[in-house]
Amino acid sequence: MNAAAFEPALRWTGEALEVLDQRRLPAETVYLRLDDAAAVAEAIRGMAVRGAPAIGLAAAYGVCLAARHWSRVLGGQAGPWRTRVAEDMARLAASRPTAVNLHTALAQLRPLIEAEPPAAPEDLLAAVSRMHDRLREADRAMAEAGAARLAPGARVLTHCNTGALASAGCGTALGVIRAAHARGLLGAVYATETRPWLQGARLTAWELGRAGIPFQLVCEGACGALMQQGRVDWLVVGADRIAANGDVANKIGTYTLAVLARRHGARVMVVAPTDTFDPTLDSGAAIPIETRAAEELTTLAGRPLAPPGTPAWNPVFDVTPAELIDLIVTEKGVIEQPDRAGVARLLALR
C-alpha cells in the first residue's frame, strides 16, 4: 500500500504537533498547530482529532509538549516538574472517556516521567516516535491479516471512520478495506453515514474517494434492508475498547449492525491494535460510554434540525457482545470467536 495515498491525522514538526482538523473535512484540509498539552487535550475533546489510536498518539505527543514546556519554565526537570507534567497528563486523560488507547499511551510513558531522574524531553520524544512507528506498523499488519480473511468478491459494510484519519498509519478497519482493494478482492463497499457526527459521510467517504476505492454511502436505517437483500458478507469495524471477555465498545450503532449481521448471516470483523484492549475490565458492561451534547443531534453545521430545546440522548459508543463477533484482528494475531481465553492468549503476546 502506498503510504502517500493518505493524509496523516498527526504530524510532528519538531516543535509542535499538527493535527488535521477533522471538523472541517471534507470541505477544507487544514492542519491545526498545537503547542502545549492543554491545546492537545482541547483538540481531542473537541474532535479536531478523533479515532482511538489517533487520540492515544496525540495525547502521547501532548506529554512531550508538557515535558518540554515545564523544563523550559522551571529550568530543568527539578522541583515541581514531575507534578506539572502529571497535571497535564491528567488533563489529557480526561479529554475523552471511552477509547482506552488514550490511557494505554499515557501508561506507556508514565515510567519515563516517574523514573529517577526522569527521562529528558528528547528521550520522551524518541519514545513517542517509536510508538508512532509501532502503531503505523500495527495498522499495516492488521490490514494484511484482515484482508487475508476475505474471499474474492467480498462485499463489506463499514461504520464510522477507521482510516488514516483515526489512526497512525493506513487505519484499522479501513486499512483492511484498503488492503483488500489492493488485492482486488472487493465486490462492494458500503460506508454508513454514521449519525450524528457523520464520520462516515464526511471522513470515510473522503478517504475512500481519495484512495480510488468504489463505494456507496448508506444511512444506518438502510443497513437492515441492505443485509436482508443479501448484499453484505462482512461487517468490518474498529474498536475503542475491548474488555477481557472480548466485548467491544465502538461507535454508536455498531451493536445494531452486529445484531443485523447475525440475523442475516453476515460475519463481523473487528480490527484493533492490542493497545485497544483493556483487560482490567471484566466485560463490556464496565466500559465507560461517552455521552455528548444534544446539539450534535438537534443541529447540523450550526443550523437547527429539531425544534429549539428538543431534548436528546446522545451516547456516542455502544457495546457489542463478544458472541456477535466472528474475528478480532490485531497486529499480534487474530482471535476467532472471541472469548475470555482467546483474549488472554492474545494479550500474552503483547
User: Would you please indicate which residues are annotated as catalytic (active-site) residues?
Assistant: 240
Q: Residue 182, exposed/middle/buried by CB under 10 A (0-12, 13-18, 19+)? A: middle
The one-letter code for the residue type at 146 is: G
Residues interacting with ligand MRU, by CB under 6 A? 50-53, 99, 160, 162, 166-167, 172, 199, 238-240, 250-251, 316
- C-alpha 69 chain-centroid distance: 28
Name the grid cell of 318: 455502544
Cα distance between residue 180 and residue 147, in whole Å: 5
Q: How far is the CB of 183 from ligand MRU (least distance, A)?
A: 21
The one-letter code for the residue type at 316 is: V
Closer residue to ligand MRU (CB): 102 or 150? 102
Name the grid cell of 290: 461517552
Q: How far is the CB of 53 from ligand MRU (least distance, A)?
A: 6
**Number of C-beta neighbours around residue 100 at 10 A:** 25
Closer residue to ligand MRU (CB): 50 or 181? 50
Closer residue to ligand MRU (CB): 85 or 232? 232
Cross-sheet strand order for the sheet of 327-330: 216-218, 186-192, 154-158, 234-237, 267-271, 327-330, 333-336
Q: How far is the CB of 244 from ligand MRU (least distance, A)?
A: 19
Closer residue to ligand MRU (CB): 252 or 346? 252
Q: How far is the CB of 239 from ligand MRU (least distance, A)?
A: 5
Cα distance between residue 10 and residue 136, in whole Å: 12
